[in-house]
Structure 1
Protein backbone atom coordinates (compact mmCIF):
# COMPACT_ATOMS: atom_id res chain seq x y z
CA UNK A 1 0.00 0.00 0.00
CA UNK A 2 1.29 3.45 -0.92
CA UNK A 3 1.99 5.80 1.98
CA UNK A 4 0.45 9.28 1.82
CA UNK A 5 3.87 10.74 2.69
CA UNK A 6 7.01 8.82 1.76
CA UNK A 7 10.46 10.25 2.56
CA UNK A 8 13.44 8.31 1.22
CA UNK A 9 17.12 8.94 2.08
CA UNK A 10 16.61 12.68 2.44
CA UNK A 11 19.59 15.05 2.82
CA UNK A 12 19.59 18.82 3.19
CA UNK A 13 22.26 21.42 3.99
CA UNK A 14 22.40 25.15 4.68
CA UNK A 15 25.60 26.86 3.49
CA UNK A 16 27.46 23.57 3.52
CA UNK A 17 26.31 22.57 7.02
CA UNK A 18 24.29 19.34 7.11
CA UNK A 19 20.85 19.91 8.63
CA UNK A 20 19.09 16.64 7.74
CA UNK A 21 20.92 13.42 6.99
CA UNK A 22 19.47 10.21 5.51
CA UNK A 23 15.90 10.84 6.66
CA UNK A 24 13.39 8.04 6.02
CA UNK A 25 9.79 8.37 7.12
CA UNK A 26 6.34 7.09 6.20
CA UNK A 27 3.00 8.67 7.11
CA UNK A 28 -0.68 8.11 6.38
CA UNK A 29 -3.54 10.55 6.89
CA UNK A 30 -5.20 8.46 9.58
CA UNK A 31 -2.22 9.32 11.83
CA UNK A 32 -1.55 12.34 14.05
CA UNK A 33 2.19 12.93 13.59
CA UNK A 34 4.10 15.13 16.04
CA UNK A 35 7.65 16.24 15.17
CA UNK A 36 9.70 17.19 18.22
CA UNK A 37 13.36 18.02 18.85
CA UNK A 38 15.80 20.76 19.86
CA UNK A 39 15.95 24.21 18.30
CA UNK A 40 18.07 24.08 15.17
CA UNK A 41 17.65 20.32 14.90
CA UNK A 42 15.85 20.46 11.56
CA UNK A 43 12.16 20.18 12.53
CA UNK A 44 10.93 23.16 10.51
CA UNK A 45 13.25 22.29 7.63
CA UNK A 46 11.78 18.79 7.47
CA UNK A 47 8.23 20.12 7.49
CA UNK A 48 9.01 22.67 4.76
CA UNK A 49 10.42 19.90 2.61
CA UNK A 50 7.27 17.86 3.15
CA UNK A 51 5.15 20.67 1.70
CA UNK A 52 7.53 21.61 -1.11
CA UNK A 53 8.85 24.93 0.22
CA UNK A 54 12.37 23.48 0.16
CA UNK A 55 13.87 20.91 -2.21
CA UNK A 56 16.05 18.00 -1.08
CA UNK A 57 19.76 18.08 -1.70
CA UNK A 58 19.49 14.32 -2.17
CA UNK A 59 16.69 11.82 -1.75
CA UNK A 60 12.99 12.39 -2.27
CA UNK A 61 9.76 13.47 -0.63
CA UNK A 62 6.54 12.11 -2.11
CA UNK A 63 3.02 13.24 -1.22
CA UNK A 64 0.39 10.84 -2.51
CA UNK A 65 3.10 9.41 -4.76
CA UNK A 66 4.04 12.76 -6.34
CA UNK A 67 6.23 15.83 -5.90
CA UNK A 68 4.65 17.99 -3.15
CA UNK A 69 4.37 20.94 -5.56
CA UNK A 70 2.17 18.88 -7.88
CA UNK A 71 -0.38 18.17 -5.14
CA UNK A 72 -0.31 21.49 -3.29
CA UNK A 73 -4.12 21.63 -3.48
CA UNK A 74 -4.24 18.54 -1.26
CA UNK A 75 -2.35 20.11 1.68
CA UNK A 76 -2.69 23.11 3.98
CA UNK A 77 0.03 24.86 5.99
CA UNK A 78 -0.45 26.75 9.26
CA UNK A 79 2.78 28.63 10.12
CA UNK A 80 3.79 29.84 13.56
CA UNK A 81 1.53 32.55 14.94
CA UNK A 82 2.57 36.09 14.14
CA UNK A 83 0.83 39.13 15.61
CA UNK A 84 -1.16 40.82 12.87
CA UNK A 85 -0.29 44.38 11.94
CA UNK A 86 -2.61 46.54 14.05
CA UNK A 87 -3.11 48.87 11.10
CA UNK A 88 -4.27 46.08 8.76
CA UNK A 89 -8.07 45.91 9.20
CA UNK A 90 -8.75 42.36 8.05
CA UNK A 91 -11.67 40.52 9.59
CA UNK A 92 -11.76 36.91 10.71
CA UNK A 93 -14.17 35.95 7.91
CA UNK A 94 -11.83 37.41 5.28
CA UNK A 95 -8.92 35.40 6.68
CA UNK A 96 -10.87 32.13 6.51
CA UNK A 97 -12.16 32.89 3.01
CA UNK A 98 -8.54 33.01 1.83
CA UNK A 99 -8.65 29.25 2.14
CA UNK A 100 -11.18 29.20 -0.70
CA UNK A 101 -8.94 31.04 -3.18
CA UNK A 102 -7.70 27.82 -4.76
CA UNK A 103 -11.32 26.73 -5.25
CA UNK A 104 -12.50 30.00 -6.83
CA UNK A 105 -12.18 31.03 -10.46
CA UNK A 106 -9.64 33.73 -11.28
CA UNK A 107 -10.88 37.23 -10.41
CA UNK A 108 -14.19 35.81 -9.17
CA UNK A 109 -15.81 36.91 -5.93
CA UNK A 110 -16.46 34.41 -3.20
CA UNK A 111 -19.62 32.41 -3.73
CA UNK A 112 -22.39 31.71 -1.24
CA UNK A 113 -20.97 28.20 -0.97
CA UNK A 114 -17.52 29.61 -0.11
CA UNK A 115 -19.01 31.74 2.66
CA UNK A 116 -21.07 28.85 3.99
CA UNK A 117 -17.99 26.63 4.10
CA UNK A 118 -15.96 29.35 5.85
CA UNK A 119 -18.68 29.81 8.48
CA UNK A 120 -18.86 26.06 8.96
CA UNK A 121 -15.12 25.84 9.53
CA UNK A 122 -15.23 28.68 12.08
CA UNK A 123 -17.91 26.78 13.94
CA UNK A 124 -15.85 23.60 13.74
CA UNK A 125 -12.89 25.26 15.48
CA UNK A 126 -15.05 26.97 18.09
CA UNK A 127 -14.88 30.48 16.60
CA UNK A 128 -18.48 30.94 15.49
CA UNK A 129 -19.59 34.51 16.19
CA UNK A 130 -16.12 35.99 15.61
CA UNK A 131 -16.43 36.34 11.83
CA UNK A 132 -16.75 40.14 11.86
CA UNK A 133 -14.04 40.73 14.47
CA UNK A 134 -10.63 42.01 13.37
CA UNK A 135 -7.95 39.33 13.49
CA UNK A 136 -5.49 41.58 15.37
CA UNK A 137 -7.89 41.88 18.34
CA UNK A 138 -7.84 38.14 19.06
CA UNK A 139 -5.66 36.23 21.51
CA UNK A 140 -2.87 33.97 20.25
CA UNK A 141 -5.00 30.86 20.69
CA UNK A 142 -7.97 32.43 18.92
CA UNK A 143 -5.80 33.52 15.99
CA UNK A 144 -4.45 30.01 15.60
CA UNK A 145 -7.98 28.61 15.54
CA UNK A 146 -8.85 31.08 12.78
CA UNK A 147 -5.77 30.03 10.79
CA UNK A 148 -6.77 26.38 11.26
CA UNK A 149 -10.27 27.24 10.00
CA UNK A 150 -8.64 28.83 6.94
CA UNK A 151 -6.65 25.63 6.37
CA UNK A 152 -9.80 23.52 6.72
CA UNK A 153 -11.57 25.74 4.19
CA UNK A 154 -9.03 24.52 1.62
CA UNK A 155 -10.57 21.05 2.02
CA UNK A 156 -7.05 19.62 2.13
CA UNK A 157 -6.23 16.01 2.97
CA UNK A 158 -3.28 16.84 5.25
CA UNK A 159 -2.76 19.85 7.51
CA UNK A 160 0.80 20.84 8.48
CA UNK A 161 1.21 23.06 11.55
CA UNK A 162 4.42 24.68 12.80
CA UNK A 163 4.23 25.04 16.61
CA UNK A 164 0.58 26.15 16.76
CA UNK A 165 0.67 26.30 20.57
CA UNK A 166 3.84 28.40 20.90
CA UNK A 167 2.01 31.57 21.97
CA UNK A 168 -0.69 29.87 24.03
CA UNK A 169 -0.94 29.15 27.77
CA UNK A 170 -1.13 25.60 29.14
CA UNK A 171 -4.93 25.41 29.14
CA UNK A 172 -4.99 26.76 25.60
CA UNK A 173 -2.41 24.20 24.48
CA UNK A 174 -4.51 21.34 25.79
CA UNK A 175 -7.61 22.77 24.12
CA UNK A 176 -5.70 23.13 20.84
CA UNK A 177 -4.45 19.55 20.90
CA UNK A 178 -7.95 18.27 21.65
CA UNK A 179 -9.21 20.23 18.64
CA UNK A 180 -6.49 18.80 16.39
CA UNK A 181 -7.22 15.30 17.67
CA UNK A 182 -10.88 15.68 16.72
CA UNK A 183 -9.97 17.09 13.31
CA UNK A 184 -7.74 14.07 12.70
CA UNK A 185 -10.90 12.02 12.20
CA UNK A 186 -11.24 13.57 8.73
CA UNK A 187 -7.86 15.15 7.91
CA UNK A 188 -4.25 14.14 8.39
CA UNK A 189 -2.37 16.14 11.04
CA UNK A 190 1.40 16.78 10.96
CA UNK A 191 2.57 19.13 13.70
CA UNK A 192 5.81 20.54 15.07
CA UNK A 193 5.57 20.80 18.84
CA UNK A 194 7.88 21.97 21.62
CA UNK A 195 5.77 20.25 24.30
CA UNK A 196 6.78 16.59 24.38
CA UNK A 197 4.28 15.44 27.01
CA UNK A 198 1.22 17.05 25.47
CA UNK A 199 2.23 16.00 21.96
CA UNK A 200 2.72 12.40 23.04
CA UNK A 201 -0.62 12.30 24.82
CA UNK A 202 -2.53 13.26 21.68
CA UNK A 203 -0.37 12.16 18.75
CA UNK A 204 -0.45 8.62 17.39
CA UNK A 205 3.09 8.88 16.04
CA UNK A 206 5.98 11.00 17.35
CA UNK A 207 9.40 11.56 15.77
CA UNK A 208 12.31 13.29 17.47
CA UNK A 209 14.46 15.16 14.96
CA UNK A 210 18.03 16.34 15.38
CA UNK A 211 19.83 16.16 12.03
CA UNK A 212 19.71 12.39 11.57
CA UNK A 213 16.89 9.91 11.86
CA UNK A 214 16.72 6.54 13.54
CA UNK A 215 13.34 4.82 13.50
CA UNK A 216 12.65 2.94 16.70
CA UNK A 217 9.38 1.14 17.41
CA UNK A 218 8.50 1.34 21.09
CA UNK A 219 6.12 -1.17 22.73
CA UNK A 220 2.80 0.42 23.64
CA UNK A 221 3.41 -0.21 27.31
CA UNK A 222 6.70 1.66 27.28
CA UNK A 223 6.84 5.33 28.23
CA UNK A 224 8.45 7.87 25.91
CA UNK A 225 12.20 8.23 26.29
CA UNK A 226 14.56 10.31 24.19
CA UNK A 227 17.84 8.48 23.87
CA UNK A 228 20.87 10.72 24.26
CA UNK A 229 23.72 10.32 21.83
CA UNK A 230 27.23 11.22 22.88
CA UNK A 231 28.09 12.27 19.34
CA UNK A 232 26.69 15.81 19.08
CA UNK A 233 26.49 15.48 15.30
CA UNK A 234 24.37 12.33 15.38
CA UNK A 235 21.15 12.42 17.36
CA UNK A 236 18.42 9.89 16.54
CA UNK A 237 14.86 10.39 15.48
CA UNK A 238 12.65 7.92 17.26
CA UNK A 239 9.32 6.69 15.98
CA UNK A 240 6.95 6.06 18.83
CA UNK A 241 3.58 4.33 18.79
CA UNK A 242 2.17 6.78 21.29
CA UNK A 243 0.06 5.82 24.27
CA UNK A 244 -0.95 7.78 27.34
CA UNK A 245 2.03 8.24 29.64
CA UNK A 246 1.62 6.89 33.16
CA UNK A 247 3.13 10.11 34.54
CA UNK A 248 0.93 12.44 32.50
CA UNK A 249 -1.08 14.92 34.62
CA UNK A 250 -4.58 13.64 35.24
CA UNK A 251 -6.20 16.94 34.27
CA UNK A 252 -4.70 16.69 30.77
CA UNK A 253 -6.32 13.36 30.04
Structure 2
Protein backbone atom coordinates (compact mmCIF):
# COMPACT_ATOMS: atom_id res chain seq x y z
CA UNK A 1 0.00 0.00 0.00
CA UNK A 2 1.10 3.54 -0.72
CA UNK A 3 2.20 5.71 2.18
CA UNK A 4 0.51 9.08 2.54
CA UNK A 5 2.09 10.26 5.83
CA UNK A 6 4.99 8.99 7.90
CA UNK A 7 6.32 10.00 11.32
CA UNK A 8 9.99 9.18 11.83
CA UNK A 9 11.49 9.32 15.35
CA UNK A 10 9.13 12.12 16.33
CA UNK A 11 9.40 13.66 19.78
CA UNK A 12 6.81 16.37 20.43
CA UNK A 13 5.37 18.49 23.19
CA UNK A 14 4.77 22.03 24.36
CA UNK A 15 7.79 24.07 25.38
CA UNK A 16 9.82 21.96 27.79
CA UNK A 17 6.90 19.59 28.43
CA UNK A 18 7.62 16.54 26.25
CA UNK A 19 4.46 14.52 25.60
CA UNK A 20 5.54 12.02 22.90
CA UNK A 21 8.90 10.34 22.47
CA UNK A 22 10.42 8.59 19.44
CA UNK A 23 7.17 7.96 17.58
CA UNK A 24 7.40 5.95 14.36
CA UNK A 25 4.32 5.20 12.29
CA UNK A 26 3.40 5.16 8.60
CA UNK A 27 -0.15 5.83 7.42
CA UNK A 28 -1.17 4.16 4.16
CA UNK A 29 -4.11 4.60 1.84
CA UNK A 30 -7.14 2.68 3.13
CA UNK A 31 -5.67 2.29 6.63
CA UNK A 32 -8.24 2.39 9.44
CA UNK A 33 -6.27 2.95 12.63
CA UNK A 34 -7.78 3.09 16.10
CA UNK A 35 -5.74 5.21 18.53
CA UNK A 36 -6.19 4.33 22.20
CA UNK A 37 -4.49 5.29 25.44
CA UNK A 38 -4.98 7.10 28.76
CA UNK A 39 -5.88 10.77 29.06
CA UNK A 40 -2.69 12.82 28.96
CA UNK A 41 -0.84 10.03 27.18
CA UNK A 42 -0.37 12.00 23.96
CA UNK A 43 -3.28 11.05 21.69
CA UNK A 44 -4.26 14.67 21.00
CA UNK A 45 -0.63 15.68 20.56
CA UNK A 46 -0.19 12.91 17.99
CA UNK A 47 -3.20 14.24 16.07
CA UNK A 48 -1.82 17.79 16.16
CA UNK A 49 1.53 16.60 14.81
CA UNK A 50 -0.15 14.80 11.91
CA UNK A 51 -2.32 17.84 11.17
CA UNK A 52 0.78 20.04 11.17
CA UNK A 53 -0.52 22.17 14.04
CA UNK A 54 2.64 21.60 16.09
CA UNK A 55 6.13 20.82 14.85
CA UNK A 56 8.20 17.96 16.23
CA UNK A 57 10.98 18.83 18.66
CA UNK A 58 13.04 16.14 16.97
CA UNK A 59 12.31 13.78 14.10
CA UNK A 60 10.23 14.56 11.04
CA UNK A 61 6.82 14.21 9.46
CA UNK A 62 6.81 13.24 5.78
CA UNK A 63 3.82 13.94 3.53
CA UNK A 64 3.85 11.87 0.35
CA UNK A 65 2.59 12.59 -3.18
CA UNK A 66 -0.49 14.84 -3.28
CA UNK A 67 -0.33 15.32 0.50
CA UNK A 68 2.79 17.45 0.09
CA UNK A 69 0.84 20.54 -0.92
CA UNK A 70 -2.42 21.80 0.47
CA UNK A 71 -2.57 19.25 3.27
CA UNK A 72 -5.26 21.30 4.99
CA UNK A 73 -7.62 20.21 2.22
CA UNK A 74 -6.21 16.66 2.13
CA UNK A 75 -6.86 15.94 5.81
CA UNK A 76 -10.38 16.05 7.22
CA UNK A 77 -10.67 16.52 10.97
CA UNK A 78 -13.60 15.90 13.31
CA UNK A 79 -12.54 17.27 16.72
CA UNK A 80 -13.99 16.19 20.03
CA UNK A 81 -15.01 19.78 20.73
CA UNK A 82 -15.68 22.06 17.78
CA UNK A 83 -14.85 25.77 17.79
CA UNK A 84 -18.05 26.55 15.87
CA UNK A 85 -20.12 29.18 17.69
CA UNK A 86 -23.40 27.43 18.45
CA UNK A 87 -25.11 30.79 19.05
CA UNK A 88 -23.97 32.48 15.84
CA UNK A 89 -26.83 32.35 13.29
CA UNK A 90 -25.38 30.06 10.63
CA UNK A 91 -27.15 27.38 8.61
CA UNK A 92 -26.19 23.72 8.57
CA UNK A 93 -25.28 24.03 4.88
CA UNK A 94 -22.89 26.91 5.60
CA UNK A 95 -21.20 24.95 8.40
CA UNK A 96 -20.53 22.13 5.94
CA UNK A 97 -19.31 24.59 3.30
CA UNK A 98 -16.81 26.00 5.80
CA UNK A 99 -14.91 22.74 5.26
CA UNK A 100 -14.09 24.07 1.78
CA UNK A 101 -13.20 27.57 2.91
CA UNK A 102 -9.94 29.11 1.77
CA UNK A 103 -8.26 32.03 3.57
CA UNK A 104 -9.98 35.37 2.82
CA UNK A 105 -12.85 33.64 1.03
CA UNK A 106 -16.41 34.52 1.92
CA UNK A 107 -18.95 31.76 2.44
CA UNK A 108 -21.45 33.38 0.05
CA UNK A 109 -18.90 33.17 -2.75
CA UNK A 110 -19.04 29.37 -3.00
CA UNK A 111 -19.86 28.00 -6.43
CA UNK A 112 -23.08 26.17 -7.23
CA UNK A 113 -21.10 22.96 -7.72
CA UNK A 114 -19.63 23.27 -4.22
CA UNK A 115 -23.06 23.84 -2.68
CA UNK A 116 -24.37 20.83 -4.60
CA UNK A 117 -21.45 18.78 -3.24
CA UNK A 118 -22.27 19.87 0.32
CA UNK A 119 -25.91 18.88 -0.14
CA UNK A 120 -24.81 15.53 -1.55
CA UNK A 121 -22.71 14.89 1.57
CA UNK A 122 -25.62 15.88 3.81
CA UNK A 123 -27.88 13.47 1.94
CA UNK A 124 -25.36 10.63 2.25
CA UNK A 125 -25.42 10.99 6.04
CA UNK A 126 -29.21 11.29 6.21
CA UNK A 127 -29.50 14.94 7.24
CA UNK A 128 -30.22 16.80 4.00
CA UNK A 129 -33.53 17.90 5.52
CA UNK A 130 -31.51 19.98 8.01
CA UNK A 131 -29.56 21.92 5.35
CA UNK A 132 -31.33 25.26 5.89
CA UNK A 133 -31.86 24.88 9.63
CA UNK A 134 -30.04 27.08 12.14
CA UNK A 135 -27.06 25.07 13.39
CA UNK A 136 -27.57 26.13 17.00
CA UNK A 137 -30.99 24.45 17.08
CA UNK A 138 -29.61 20.95 16.46
CA UNK A 139 -29.22 18.11 18.96
CA UNK A 140 -25.76 16.86 19.92
CA UNK A 141 -26.01 13.89 17.58
CA UNK A 142 -27.16 16.08 14.69
CA UNK A 143 -24.28 18.49 15.29
CA UNK A 144 -21.78 15.62 15.14
CA UNK A 145 -23.27 14.51 11.82
CA UNK A 146 -22.85 18.05 10.48
CA UNK A 147 -19.24 18.19 11.68
CA UNK A 148 -18.57 14.86 9.97
CA UNK A 149 -20.00 16.29 6.74
CA UNK A 150 -17.75 19.33 7.10
CA UNK A 151 -14.73 17.07 7.61
CA UNK A 152 -15.34 15.06 4.42
CA UNK A 153 -16.79 17.67 2.04
CA UNK A 154 -13.33 18.41 0.59
CA UNK A 155 -12.89 14.68 -0.17
CA UNK A 156 -9.74 14.36 1.99
CA UNK A 157 -7.28 11.50 1.63
CA UNK A 158 -7.10 11.14 5.41
CA UNK A 159 -9.93 11.55 7.91
CA UNK A 160 -9.08 12.01 11.61
CA UNK A 161 -11.78 11.67 14.27
CA UNK A 162 -11.17 12.53 17.93
CA UNK A 163 -13.64 10.67 20.19
CA UNK A 164 -16.47 11.03 17.61
CA UNK A 165 -19.01 9.11 19.71
CA UNK A 166 -18.75 11.34 22.79
CA UNK A 167 -22.12 12.69 23.98
CA UNK A 168 -24.09 11.11 21.11
CA UNK A 169 -26.86 8.54 20.97
CA UNK A 170 -26.52 4.89 20.01
CA UNK A 171 -28.13 5.44 16.62
CA UNK A 172 -25.59 8.08 15.65
CA UNK A 173 -22.78 5.79 16.76
CA UNK A 174 -24.14 2.94 14.64
CA UNK A 175 -24.68 5.21 11.63
CA UNK A 176 -21.22 6.71 12.09
CA UNK A 177 -19.41 3.38 11.92
CA UNK A 178 -21.45 2.37 8.88
CA UNK A 179 -20.49 5.63 7.16
CA UNK A 180 -16.82 5.24 8.11
CA UNK A 181 -16.73 1.73 6.68
CA UNK A 182 -17.89 3.11 3.32
CA UNK A 183 -15.48 6.05 3.48
CA UNK A 184 -12.58 3.72 4.23
CA UNK A 185 -12.98 2.19 0.79
CA UNK A 186 -11.27 5.25 -0.69
CA UNK A 187 -9.56 7.10 2.18
CA UNK A 188 -7.45 6.45 5.26
CA UNK A 189 -9.04 6.94 8.67
CA UNK A 190 -7.55 7.54 12.12
CA UNK A 191 -10.01 7.36 15.00
CA UNK A 192 -9.09 8.29 18.56
CA UNK A 193 -11.18 6.49 21.17
CA UNK A 194 -11.10 5.41 24.80
CA UNK A 195 -13.01 2.22 23.99
CA UNK A 196 -10.90 -0.37 22.18
CA UNK A 197 -13.58 -2.98 22.75
CA UNK A 198 -16.02 -1.08 20.53
CA UNK A 199 -13.72 0.27 17.83
CA UNK A 200 -11.98 -3.08 17.42
CA UNK A 201 -15.03 -4.23 15.48
CA UNK A 202 -14.39 -1.57 12.85
CA UNK A 203 -10.71 -0.60 12.68
CA UNK A 204 -8.01 -2.60 10.91
CA UNK A 205 -5.14 -1.82 13.29
CA UNK A 206 -4.55 -0.25 16.70
CA UNK A 207 -2.00 2.29 17.96
CA UNK A 208 -1.51 2.37 21.74
CA UNK A 209 -0.31 5.81 22.83
CA UNK A 210 1.08 6.49 26.30
CA UNK A 211 4.03 8.87 25.85
CA UNK A 212 5.33 6.33 23.33
CA UNK A 213 3.45 4.73 20.44
CA UNK A 214 3.12 0.98 19.96
CA UNK A 215 1.55 -0.02 16.64
CA UNK A 216 -0.44 -3.26 16.54
CA UNK A 217 -1.11 -4.43 12.97
CA UNK A 218 -4.44 -6.04 13.81
CA UNK A 219 -7.78 -5.09 15.32
CA UNK A 220 -7.51 -8.02 17.74
CA UNK A 221 -5.60 -7.12 20.88
CA UNK A 222 -5.28 -8.92 24.21
CA UNK A 223 -4.96 -7.63 27.76
CA UNK A 224 -1.43 -9.05 27.84
CA UNK A 225 -0.48 -7.01 24.77
CA UNK A 226 -1.96 -3.83 26.25
CA UNK A 227 0.09 -4.41 29.39
CA UNK A 228 3.22 -5.03 27.32
CA UNK A 229 2.62 -1.75 25.47
CA UNK A 230 2.42 0.08 28.83
CA UNK A 231 -1.13 1.08 27.93
CA UNK A 232 -3.08 1.22 31.24
CA UNK A 233 -6.38 0.07 29.77
CA UNK A 234 -8.31 -2.92 31.00
CA UNK A 235 -10.69 -4.90 28.79
CA UNK A 236 -13.95 -5.75 30.53
CA UNK A 237 -17.20 -7.21 29.26
CA UNK A 238 -20.83 -6.10 29.42
CA UNK A 239 -22.72 -9.14 28.21
CA UNK A 240 -21.15 -10.18 24.92
CA UNK A 241 -19.69 -6.75 24.12
CA UNK A 242 -16.15 -5.96 25.35
CA UNK A 243 -15.38 -2.45 26.59
CA UNK A 244 -12.39 -0.84 28.22
CA UNK A 245 -11.69 1.13 31.35
CA UNK A 246 -8.66 3.06 32.55
CA UNK A 247 -6.69 1.04 35.10
CA UNK A 248 -5.38 2.52 38.29
CA UNK A 249 -1.84 3.81 37.85
CA UNK A 250 -0.53 1.64 40.68
CA UNK A 251 -1.85 -1.62 39.19
TM-score where L is the length of structure 1: 0.81
Contact 2:13 2:45 survives alignment (8 Å): no
- In the aligned structure 2, how far is the partner of 1:83 from the partner of 1:51? 16
1:206 and 2:206 are equivalent in the alignment: yes
After superposition, the Cα gap between the structure-2 partners of 1:23 and 1:126, relative to the gap in structure 1 and judged at 3 Å, is same
User: What is the CA deviation profile of residues 168-227 of structure 1, one whole-angstrom value per residue up to 9, with x for unaligned ones?
Assistant: 134432322222122111222111112211211101111110001234456x7x554353
After superposition, the Cα gap between the structure-2 partners of 1:227 and 1:33, relative to the gap in structure 1 and judged at 3 Å, is closer
1:91 alignment partner in structure 2? 91
1:241 alignment partner in structure 2? none
- How many residues are paired up? 234
Residue 123 of structure 1 and its aligned partner are, at CA, apart by 0.8
SS of 1:155's equivalent in the other structure is coil
Structure 2 matches for 1:1-150, cutoff 5 A? Answer: 2-64=2-64, 71-82=71-82, 85-102=85-102, 106=105, 109-150=109-150
User: What is the CA deviation profile of residues 140-188 of structure 1, one whole-angstrom value per residue up to 9, with x for unaligned ones?
Assistant: 2211111111122112111111111112134432322222122111222
- In the aligned structure 2, how far is the partner of 1:95 from the partner of 1:26? 32
SS of 2:26's equivalent in the other structure is strand
Where do 5+ consecutive residues of structure 2 fail to align?
233-239, 243-251
SS of 1:98's equivalent in the other structure is helix
1:244 alignment partner in structure 2? none
More strand by share: 2
1:240 alignment partner in structure 2? none
After superposition, the Cα gap between the structure-2 partners of 1:17 and 1:9, relative to the gap in structure 1 and judged at 3 Å, is same
Answer with 58-67 or 137-146: which moved more.
58-67
Contact 2:204 2:217 survives alignment (8 Å): no
1:188 alignment partner in structure 2? 188
Contact 2:2 2:29 survives alignment (8 Å): no
SS of 1:60's equivalent in the other structure is strand
1:235 alignment partner in structure 2? 230
